[in-house]
Structure 1
């Protein structure tokens, strides 16, 4: 009997795109309120708001940033496309931990030879260290 391998996905938390949209609306509102007719201030508020809305759109179009199955990993690539990485192409899975501004940050690094894929807590909706442990377990279970 063939054992099925569970597919696991990590995605952007649902609250994150909502916060980005709220930030864009707040920036436009503040720009209109405090610009006093200054076109540079209005343009700056509009530009930053548009960037936030684009960033939120990516979270809505491609919320799943990383998935694992028996064949390997699927990672988000570019704005919203996906790239499949067979286990044989993955050279290393590691977590980079660094102290910044009094806080420790973690970044999941997936080295696929010619490409390095980086994921933070807000990309995964989970701790990068926990995700790395799941990926190592999955890789071992797949015999890679």
Structure 2
């Protein structure tokens, strides 16, 4: 009997994040309108900050899947909403980088594809990076 390969899996931005970002954009825009008192600079700055936050939320809505894996390789997000396919032979390493600063520990999943390094945080994946790294390594064919 042949060993079965793990099914395709994907990791995406949690649904609540774009909602929070859009709400933040609305709050910034409203604050700019309420507190600018005719100061065009404050109004423009609040508008730019709100637009940047809304654009960030839009990216999460348009391309929520940040990472996917199947028996042939890994698919990562590239640019605003593009994707890049990384076949298993080009994936050199999958690891989790942990850094502690001021009592807080940050974990980042690193997918090293030789010419490119792809980094994913917990909020990119909607899961702990350690758990995702284990799933990726389990999906990688032996040899």
> Which residues in structure 2 correspond to 1:21-100 (within 5 Å)?
21-100=22-101
Cα distance in 2, alignment partners of residues 100 and 31 from structure 1: 34
What is the Cα deviation at residue 5 of structure 1?
3.3
The answer to whether the 8 A contact 2:111-2:118 is kept is yes
TM-score with structure 1 setting the length: 0.94
Structure 2 residue runs of 5 or longer lacking an equivalent are none
The answer to whether the 8 A contact 2:74-2:87 is kept is yes
Query: Structure 1 segments of 4 or more deviating over 2 A?
Result: 1-5
Per-residue CA shift, 1:115-142, capped at 9, x if unaligned? 0000000000000111111111111xx2
What is the Cα deviation at residue 4 of structure 1?
5.1
Structure 1 residue runs of 5 or longer lacking an equivalent are none
TM-score with structure 2 setting the length: 0.95
Gap change, CA 1:27 and 1:101, over 3 Å in 2? farther
Q: What residue number does 1:143 align with?
A: 142
Q: What residue number does 2:126 align with?
A: 125
- The root-mean-square deviation of aligned C-alpha atoms, in Å, is 1.2
Q: Give secondary structure in 2 for the equivalent of 1:79.
A: coil
The answer to whether the 8 A contact 2:76-2:85 is kept is yes
Gap change, CA 1:109 and 1:4, over 3 Å in 2? closer
Cα distance in 2, alignment partners of residues 70 and 137 from structure 1: 10
Q: What residue number does 1:7 align with?
A: 8
